[in-house]
Structure 1
């Protein structure tokens, strides 16, 4: 464990440069413009796969934010998920080595942080082709940013 990170909190936005899959990155960008406690670190990752396990090492608390493909919820809806719930949605991951698989591996290796929170921003299973975030996803990003900011500053 990296002792210099102990007691620190990490928020990771996971994404890719494609349409609504940028949602995790956009939350991080909004948070970077806010006055957050100094123990909070922010990071954007492009489809990290198993490398995510190393990124989480040494942090007492990690929040992961990713777009999830699902038609069970409207586009832009923000869900706080358990790893088990994520597994049900992650079968349509846009990230080759899906987040649910990485978290199962981290759990098997006893490499999960003490506190792990997962937020999924819902995008349709058949995404519409666009370079930027859809209006629904932009609204979800802003809502989650405000929720996290309020939580981190209390």
Structure 2
């Protein structure tokens, strides 16, 4: 049986930055035991380590772009990682570079990597509550993740 992981990324106490965490909370009760659902605030090698050994990995994260509207949902893949503003930190390398190094070192990385990024509004205010427009798209993101998991 193929193993899958869904990772809700973000900081659950920084308003919309916690959108990935909220999606993970909802999905935890909607998937079977063959899918691991976790919440994480990781980047680079630490995130890569979490994904190692899975056949499919789906990440859900917040994103802020100049062109997007709050609540927009973007579907990205590993080729888009080079342009990700999150999946990196000043104390680590970005996930794209970590992925390339892991691949060169023979680490068993997921064959399928999908990232759902939600255009958010507020990632600076301390709150565990999402803004209204972001909260409204959580069910849609959950459905998109479930669809990916069942599409094989």
Alignment TM-score, normalising by the size of structure 2: 0.80
Q: What's 1:115 paired with?
A: 112
Query: Which of 62, 68, 71 matches 1:73?
Result: 68
Q: Does 1:61 align with 2:84?
A: no
Distance of aligned partners of 1:11 and 1:100 in 2 relative to their CA distance in 1, 3 Å threshold: farther
Structure 1 portions without partners, runs of 5+: 1-5
Query: Which of 12, 28, 32 matches 2:28?
Result: 32
**Residues in 1 aligned to 2:131 and 2:92: alpha-carbon distance in whole angstroms:** 22
**Residues in 2 aligned to 1:48 and 1:42: alpha-carbon distance in whole angstroms:** 17
Q: Does 1:104 align with 2:101?
A: no
Deviates more, 1:39-48 or 1:56-65: 39-48
Tell me if the contact between 1:83 and 1:100 (Cα under 8 Å) persists in the aligned partners.
no
Tell me if the contact between 2:78 and 2:96 (Cα under 8 Å) persists in the aligned partners.
yes
Alignment TM-score, normalising by the size of structure 1: 0.79
Deviates more, 1:22-31 or 1:74-83: 74-83
Structure 1 residue ranges (4+ consecutive) displaced by more than 6 angstroms after TM superposition? none
**Residues in 2 aligned to 1:145 and 1:98: alpha-carbon distance in whole angstroms:** 31
Q: In the TM superposition, what are the counterparts of 1:1-40 in structure 2 within 5 Å?
A: 7-16=2-11, 17-34=13-30, 36-40=31-35
Q: What's 2:134 paired with?
A: 137
Structure 2 portions without partners, runs of 5+: none
Q: Does 1:152 align with 2:152?
A: no
The DSSP-based 3-state class of the residue aligned with 2:98 is: helix
Give the deviation of 1:98 after TM superposition.
Answer: 9.7
Distance of aligned partners of 1:63 and 1:43 in 2 relative to their CA distance in 1, 3 Å threshold: same
Give the deviation of 1:114 after TM superposition.
Answer: 1.2
TM-align CA RMSD: 2.7
Q: What's 1:43 paired with?
A: 38
